[in-house]
Amino acid sequence: MAETPRNNRLNPLVGKSSPAHEVNIYAGRPAQGHSGNLTGNRRILKDTAADIFNGMQNWKHHQDKGCVVISNIFNMRLELPNVKFPDRLSGYVSELKQLCEQMAEIVEGFQTKLKNLTAVSALEKSSSAPLFISWTTEHFCKITRAIVEAYQQELKLHQSLLLRIADCTDPDVLLFYLSCWTHQPYLDISLEKQAHCMIKETGHV
């Protein structure tokens, strides 16, 4: 008969996501039909696409670190089942809080980028010609808006988990919280595919 999760220590790397790779906003090919350095709205769109993609990669990095922290809390609770506030707990909780704050900064950055794209879309509304290969500025807005809304929801979940993890003394419940943190139910795989399409559209890859 298999042991229950309560009797098994966790590998700190549990829940680790795929490696994060950032893109250089100055790299890649120029927009279709244009040579040299981009200016104006094309520059804004290209830089914004890279910033959004890189923000998603940074989120992955913080997400993975959070998995390690929660695993450490789980293992600590196994080692010290009768100690409600072990000495290491405050350090782990502070680290997890800092990660949530950094993730909140990423989401705020996404919101700013969406405002910029919305402004560009308003300026380009009279033109149906794409600024790059095939995407209209409105399509850039649509994809970015979906990314922003998903990460806003996921951030709320992470912040809620932070509060619960800080007070939890039951390793089995902590294992459930780790699963919630790892699974990220609001971040559909299609969002990352769309982000890859965005940087491909703007010539980064």
**What count of other Cβ atoms lies within 10 Å of the Cβ of residue 182?**
17
pLDDT at 204: 72
pLDDT at 22: 64
Q: 5-14, 71-80, 86-95: which has the minimum mean pLDDT? A: 5-14
pLDDT at 194: 94
Confidence class for position 200, pLDDT limits 50, 70, 90 = very high
Mean pLDDT confidence for 39-49 = 85
Model confidence at 29: pLDDT above 70: no
Tell me the C-alpha distance between 112 and 107, whole Å: 9
Tell me the C-alpha distance between 56 and 49, whole Å: 11
Size of the chain, expressed as the number of residues it contains? 205
Tell me the C-alpha distance between 148 and 154, whole Å: 10
Mean pLDDT confidence for 39-64 = 92
pLDDT at 17: 59
Backbone dihedral region for residue 126 (phi beyond 0: left; psi -120 to 50: alpha; all else: beta): alpha
Per-residue exposure over 141-151, b if at least 16 CB sit within 10 Å of its own CB, e if not: bebbeebbebb
pLDDT at 128: 62
Mean pLDDT confidence for 51-66 = 97
Domains of the chain: 38-201 (1.20.1050)
Tokens standing for 143?
């994809």
Mean pLDDT confidence for 70-85 = 94
Per-residue pLDDT reduced to its tens digit, 153-174 = 999 999 999 999 988 999 999 9
Write out the DSSP string of 63-117: HHHHHHHHHHHHHHHHH-TT-SS-TTHHHHHHHHHHHHHHHHHHHHHHHHHHHHH
pLDDT at 31: 43
Its pTM stands at 0.83
